[in-house]
Structure 1
Amino acid sequence: MIADRKDDHVRHAVQHRRDHVGSNDFDAVGFVHHALAGIDAADVSLAVDMAGKRWATPLYVNAMTGGSVNTGEINRQLAVAARETGIPIASGSMSAYFRDPAVAGTYRVLRQENPDGFVMANVNANATLDQALRGIELLEADALQIHLNTVQEVVMPEGDRAFSAWPRQIEHLVAHVPVPVIVKEVGFGLSRQTVTWLREAGVAVADVGGRGGTNFARIENDRRAAADFAFIEHWGQSTPGCLLDCAGLTGIGIAASGGIRSPLDIARALALGANATGVAGVFLNTLVSNGTEALIETITTWLEQLRNILTVLGARTPADLAGTDLLITGEVATFCALRGIDVASLAHRSSWWRESNFREGVIHE
């Protein structure tokens, strides 16, 4: 039954991606263009520090799947793409492996095909310490990713209905696993209060996982015989809203996933305060529709386009995007007003024009 559910998730995720491609809250985030802010592309580095390691890029393949023959092949191809492009990758939830060790290979393939890459083992917040350690050992994982999915669980016909132990279990795992812990939402967002709690619990990275991408409430509702949970499909905060809500928090890394459709969305997320960005839906659709080589080409193109965006904005590193001028409009601005977040100041935060007075340039005669 678990294998069937994993295959159902992939099928519905791909179909929803095809049916619901369009606008999301990232479209409410715009850059103020300064025509003389540009720098040389050769001076741009995409490297970032995340989860105790230096990543070559601020982009990673986020948790997707595993647990069946079909999803094992998807994981193999995702691992090849991650290896060839040098980006980190997370496994899908390893719950199927904990219940049936026979499916270990559908997850282990992530390390077999990507022996030197940064790999994250994904578990749910009910996972025991023994299970977490088994997952880390199987993947020789560089980090443990714990997913939070209360909304998905309550819509899932066979899902959990008890969540009160999650905070204590997260604290327990953080204290005892030998790798950094990343906690992510699966598409409904992390509030500032939640991220603050995660920081105090010792979590290394919070992936805000906001609304706007793969919608697991819709996926699980499609699996219900009566499809009677449609009213909850728009639950939660969008990724831009979450990032703005968490602005200024220190002592914890911030990752952004949920609704990232392009290199521009990556740049927007980084400018809103993310240290790195995770993508699942777009990459899965590309892989299923066009194959591994197409996914490798897509990731390679995205990274080059991201470098070009940083070049235009005068950002030598992804972190420098946090000093660019942003215009926040629409529902995101409304959300910020209700949460007491000052977005007007974001439109006036850049210092490129002051720095340019001291920049050593080359004059061509």
Structure 2
Amino acid sequence: MIADRKDDHVRHAVDQRRADTGGNDFDCVTFVHHALAGIDSADVSLAIDFAGKPWDSPLFVNAMTGGSAKTGEINRKLAIAARETGVPIATGSMSAYFRDPAVADTYRVLRQENPHGVVLANVNANATVEQALRAIELLEADALQIHLNSVQEAVMPEGDRSFGSWPRQIEHLVAGVPIPVIVKEVGFGLSRQTVTWLRDAGVAVADVGGRGGTNFARIENSRRPAGDFAFIESWGQSTPNCLLDCAGIDGIDIAATGGIRSPLDIARALALGATATGVAGAFLDTVVRHDTDALIGQIRTWHDQLRQILTVLGARTPAELAGCDLLITGDVATFCALRGIDVASLAHRSPWWRESRDRGGVIGE
């Protein structure tokens, strides 16, 4: 039954992406173009420091699947693409492995095909320390993701209904595993209060996992005979809203996932304060509809395009995007007004004109 559910999730996720041709809240985030801010592309590096380790790219393949023969093959293709492009990769929830060790290879393939890459294990918030250590050992994982999915579980016909132990269990996992812990939402967002709590609990990374990408409430509702949870499909905060809500929280890295459709969305997320960005739906669609080579080409193209965006904006590193001028409009501006977030200041933070003046130019005088 678990294998069938994993296959259902992939099928519904791909169908959802093909049917969803609308925009999302990243369209409410616009860079102010300064025509003389550009730098030389050769001076741009995409490298970042994340969860205490160097990554070659701010892009990673985020948690998707595992637990069945079909999903194991998908993981194999994803792992090859990660290996060939040098991006980190996370496995999907490993709950199926804890219930049936026979499916171990559907997860282990991520390390087998990517022996020297960065691989993230993924468990739910009910996992014990012993289970987390088993997952880490199986993948020789570099970090542990704990996914928060109370909304998905509530809609899932066979889902959990008890979430009160999650904070205590997260503290146990942070204390009990030897690698950095990443806590991620699965598409409904993390609030400022939640991220602050995670920081204080010793979590290394908060992945905001906002609304705008794969909608697991919609997926689980599609699996309900009566489809009677459609009213909850718009639950949660979008990824841009989460990033703005969490701005300025020190002591924890922020990852942005949920609704990232292009290198421009990656740049927007980094400019809103994310250190790294994860993509699942867009890459899953490429692997399922095409093949591994197509995904390798897509990731390489995205890297090249992201580099050119940084070049035009005058950002030598992904971190420097956080100094670029942004215009926040539409629903995101409304959210920020209600949460007391000053977005007007984001439109006036670029240092490029001062740097030009210091080099002897007259712009900005």
TM-score (norm 1): 0.98
Per-residue Cα deviation, 1:58-79 (whole angstroms, up to 9, x for no partner): 0000000000000000000000
- Say which SS state the counterpart of residue 206 (structure 1) adopts: strand
CA distance in structure 2 between the partners assigned to 1:360 and 1:310 by the alignment: 23
Matches within 5 A, 1:164-313: 164-313=164-313
Per-residue Cα deviation, 1:275-299 (whole angstroms, up to 9, x for no partner): 0000000000011001000000000
Match of 2:66 in 1: 66
Matches within 5 A, 1:45-124: 45-124=45-124
- Say which SS state the counterpart of residue 197 (structure 1) adopts: helix
The answer as to 2:30 corresponding to 1:14 is: no
Deviation at 1:358, TM superposition (A): 2.4
Unmatched 5+ residue regions in structure 2?
none
Unmatched 5+ residue regions in structure 1?
none
- Closer, same or farther: CA 285–360 of 1 in aligned 2, 3 Å: farther
Match of 1:130 in 2: 130
Match of 2:36 in 1: 36
- Say which SS state the counterpart of residue 92 (structure 2) adopts: strand
- Say which SS state the counterpart of residue 134 (structure 2) adopts: helix
CA distance in structure 2 between the partners assigned to 1:360 and 1:92 by the alignment: 52
Deviation at 1:233, TM superposition (A): 0.1
CA distance in structure 2 between the partners assigned to 1:48 and 1:230 by the alignment: 40
Match of 1:318 in 2: 318
Matches within 5 A, 1:140-179: 140-179=140-179
Deviation at 1:360, TM superposition (A): 7.9
CA distance in structure 2 between the partners assigned to 1:70 and 1:85 by the alignment: 23
TM-score (norm 2): 0.98
AA of the residue aligned to 2:123: V
Per-residue Cα deviation, 1:288-335 (whole angstroms, up to 9, x for no partner): 001000000000000000000000000000000000000000000000
Percent identity for Structure 1 against Structure 2: 82
CA distance in structure 2 between the partners assigned to 1:229 and 1:277 by the alignment: 30
CA distance in structure 1 between the partners assigned to 2:286 and 2:359 by the alignment: 42
Per-residue Cα deviation, 1:37-57 (whole angstroms, up to 9, x for no partner): 000000000000112210000
Q: Which moved more, 1:43-52 or 1:185-194?
A: 43-52
AA of the residue aligned to 2:193: Q
CA distance in structure 2 between the partners assigned to 1:280 and 1:360 by the alignment: 45
AA of the residue aligned to 1:196: T
AA of the residue aligned to 1:326: L
AA of the residue aligned to 2:27: D
CA distance in structure 1 between the partners assigned to 2:129 and 2:78 by the alignment: 27
